[in-house]
Amino acid sequence: MRLFRYVLFVLLGVNQAQVVDVLTKVKTFRDSGLALLDGLAEELKSKNEEALSEKTKKFREDWLSVLGVHKGLTGLAKDFTMNYFGREAYHSVNGPLVDAIKGASAALGRNPDAAAFQQALKKVCFEGKRIFQAGGSLHEMLSDLLELLDDKQVKKALPAALRGSQLIDALNYFAGPREEAHQEEL
């Protein structure tokens, strides 16, 4: 198995350390997403919002599972790598999406603001749906997330679910390097 991975990395021109870094960030995103959605489902359940709690759990199971062809992290990764990664058509229009992800990360800064975070996530959904093709995993996941975020009870339950969230680390990674850091390198 190690030989297979090594050959795959060589053929793809990918440094094994880079792959480990990406996988570590994806794991951080998954773990923090699971914790956030579990907390949200519990908070909704405690407020007698059983149907919405189950809907939150379904979103968690559908989109943060490791296995899947169309859904789950593998479905999302497949959609991104097969249809968008490295393509000029995506990279030339993804600026607003990257900015929206940075906004969501900023809302989780030192003093997390649940209302600002919810609005920023909705913007991520809108910007992503503008770019990602309908019928694809990314578009479908963003549609499902937007449906959850539009619920007033989610807005009320989100502050409790965000307490102690590590999601900011993953959002910072997916938003890319800070502009100042990039300017310093030049």
Residue-level pLDDT at 177: 63
Q: Is the dihedral of CA 59, 130, 154, 147 positive or negative?
A: negative
Residue-level pLDDT at 128: 97
Distance CA 137, CA 1 (A): 28
Residue-level pLDDT at 15: 53
Contacts of 165 (CB under 8 A, 6+ apart): 32, 35, 36, 108, 112
Distance CA 99, CA 60 (A): 25
Residue-level pLDDT at 12: 52
Q: Which amino acid, residue 105? A: S
CB 154 within 8 A of CB 52: yes
Residue-level pLDDT at 123: 97
Q: What is the mean pLDDT of each run of 10 residues along the chain (186 residues)?
A: 49 54 73 90 96 96 88 89 90 94 84 87 96 96 96 92 72 60 43
Distance CA 40, CA 46 (A): 10
Q: Which tokens hold the place of 37?
A: 């959605």
Residue-level pLDDT at 20: 62
Burial of 61 from C-beta contacts in 10 A (0-12 / 13-18 / 19+): middle
Residue-level pLDDT at 182: 41
pTM value? 0.79
